[in-house]
Amino acid sequence: MKKIFGLCLFLITACTSKKNQFIEDFGVFVNETEANYENYSEDEWKATELEYLNYQAEKKKLKTEFDSLEAKQIRTFETRFKNVKIRRDPFNNLLDIIFD
C-alpha cells in the first residue's frame, strides 16, 4: 500500500507543468531577490541579473501557454524585480525611473 501511495505522490509531483513550475520558480527568485538584494556583492548582483535574463528567455519559450491571470502574475514579478533593480542602483537606472 505504501508503494502505491508513494508512486501516486511521485506522479502527481512529476506531472507539474513546465509553465506552473516556471511561475513558481520565478516567484521564489523574485522573493529571494527582494529580501536579499541589499547584501549582494557586485558579482552576486550580476549573477542575479543573468538569472533574471534566463527567466525572460524561458518565459519567451512558454508565452503561448500562459492564460491571462498567469501572464499578469509574471508581469507583477517583472515589475517587482525592476523595482529592486532601481532601489539597488537608482543613478544607473535613471531612465527606468523617468519612463516608468
> Rounded CA gap, 55 and 91, in Å?
25
Neighbour-count burial for 27-60, b at 16+ CB within 10 Å, e otherwise: eebbeebeeebeeeeeeebeebeeebeebeebbe
For the CA atoms of the chain, what is the radius of gyration? Answer: 17
pLDDT band at 16, cuts 50/70/90? low
Q: Is the pLDDT of residue 8 over 70?
A: no
pLDDT number for residue 19 = 95
What 3-state class would DSSP assign to 86?
helix
pLDDT band at 96, cuts 50/70/90? low
Contact residues for 82 (Cβ-Cβ < 8 A; gap 6+)? 96
pLDDT band at 14, cuts 50/70/90? low
Q: Is the pLDDT of residue 56 over 60?
A: yes
% of the chain at pLDDT higher than 90: 71
